[in-house]
Amino acid sequence: MRRLSLAFDRGPLLATLMLLPAAALLGGLLAFPLALGVLLGFKDATIGDPGSFIGLQNYRYLLTDPVFRITALNTALYTLVTVLFKLGLGLALALILNQRFAGYRFWRSVLLLPYVVPTVLSAFAWWWILDPQFSFISWALVKLGVLDRNVNFLGNSCLARASLMVANIWRGIPFFTVGYLAGLQAIPKELHEAAAIDGAGDWQIFWQITWILLLPLTTILTIFSAIFTFTDFQLIWTITRGGPANATHLFVTLAYQRASPGGAMGEGAAIAGFTLPFLALLAWAALGALRTQA
């Protein structure tokens, strides 16, 4: 026992042993499949047929595929719009909650719920809210005399896109709020007080002190949110399955549709492969931001 204990005192051996379980799990079930997936993107594999190498054919085909092109545009639009709204609204909510008031803890806990509840389960609620026949939004609009018939939220490509964005924003606001609340609490109160004494207004204090000091955090939150948004499978697949007429696909839902029900494994892997450069770029940018912050 004593000898074993001594062996552990040697840094490299100890580190190797302690990293081994994680390395085995992640190597076998994450890194290996990832490499396999990249290779698969260069094959014409289908379900039950391992396929052979066809070079860049999958990629070339996808670039000419109108559905893939719409998906690429849609992924960019979806990510851009929702991240902007999540940032703005998440920061606004953080500023509201950052004022000390009775019931602060209660409100904070409750308002984070959209982020806590399993995505697919809350997506069911959104799906039902957007139902073409029984949506309460339609009911209210008709009742108020704004419209004379129900809105088919998920039947029209623009409305379906907007609806999904609202659901995604709903779920993602608390992510920014929690991040910003921590950031706001780290700003020394004296800074605000000094500025107020110098005669700065609330608005000025916000833009010239708070916002500036939050910028590094904003970069990190934005990049992370962008990564999780453009790979958002659950919400889209639950509410629209990429429809109507493939108008609301993201890369990941299209990859799933082509590979899993469709059976075109190679093509699906190539669609996933298209996301890798973006993912790498964002991960690298976030790493830089994390380092400057630390």
Looking at residues 37 to 56 of the shown chain, list those that interact with other proteins (rule: CB under 8 A): 37, 40
CB contact at 8 A, 270 and 62: yes
Closer CB to other proteins, 111 or 200, in the complex: 111
CB contact at 8 A, 284 and 276: no
Question: What gap in Å lies between CA 101 and CA 111, rounded to an integer?
Answer: 15
Least distance (Å) from other proteins to the CB of residue 138? 10
The closest alpha carbon to 176, from 230, 115, 100, 234, belongs to 115
Binding span for other proteins by CB under 8 A among 62-70, 154-162, 191-199, 276-284: 276-284
User: Is residue 134 within the footprint of other proteins (CB under 8 A)?
Assistant: yes
- Phi-psi label, residue 187: left if phi above 0, alpha if psi -120 to 50, beta otherwise: beta
Looking at residues 236 to 265 of the shown chain, list those that interact with other proteins (rule: CB under 8 A): 237-238, 252, 255-256, 259-260, 265
Compute CA 100 distance to the chain's CA centroid, rounded to the nearest angstrom.
Answer: 30
Q: Tokens in use for 208?
A: 């010239």
| Number of residues binding to other proteins, judged by CB under 8 A | 98
Question: What gap in Å lies between CA 144 and CA 63, rounded to an integer?
Answer: 46
Least distance (Å) from other proteins to the CB of residue 176? 11
Least distance (Å) from other proteins to the CB of residue 137? 10
Binding span for other proteins by CB under 8 A among 14-22, 74-82, 156-164, 189-197: 14-22
User: Is residue 154 within the footprint of other proteins (CB under 8 A)?
Assistant: no
Looking at residues 156 to 215 of the shown chain, list those that interact with other proteins (rule: CB under 8 A): 170, 173-175, 178-179, 181-182
Least distance (Å) from other proteins to the CB of residue 161? 19
Return the DSSP state at 49.
B
Least distance (Å) from other proteins to the CB of residue 267? 10
Closer CB to other proteins, 215 or 287, in the complex: 287
User: Is residue 224 within the footprint of other proteins (CB under 8 A)?
Assistant: yes
Closer CB to other proteins, 11 or 145, in the complex: 11
Closer CB to other proteins, 59 or 107, in the complex: 107
Least distance (Å) from other proteins to the CB of residue 239? 11
Phi, psi values for residue 242, rounded to 5°: 90, -10
Torsion of CA 187, 191, 196, 197, to 10 degrees: 160
Least distance (Å) from other proteins to the CB of residue 269? 5
Residues sharing a CB contact under 8 Å with residue 191, sequence separation 6 or more, in sequence order? 209, 213
Residues sharing a CB contact under 8 Å with residue 271, sequence separation 6 or more, in sequence order? 62, 68, 71, 251, 254, 255, 258
User: Is residue 217 within the footprint of other proteins (CB under 8 A)?
Assistant: yes
Task: Kindly tell me the burial class for residue 62, based on how many C-beta atoms sit within 10 Å of its own C-beta (0-12, 13-18, 19 or more).
Answer: buried
CB contact at 8 A, 264 and 46: yes
Beta-bridge mates of residue 46: 49
Least distance (Å) from other proteins to the CB of residue 10? 9
Looking at residues 87 to 126 of the shown chain, list those that interact with other proteins (rule: CB under 8 A): 89, 92-93, 96-97, 99, 101, 105, 107-114, 116-122, 124-126
Among 139, 193, 211, 212, binds other proteins (CB under 8 A): 139
* Residue reference for tokens 């608005």: 203
User: Is residue 144 within the footprint of other proteins (CB under 8 A)?
Assistant: no
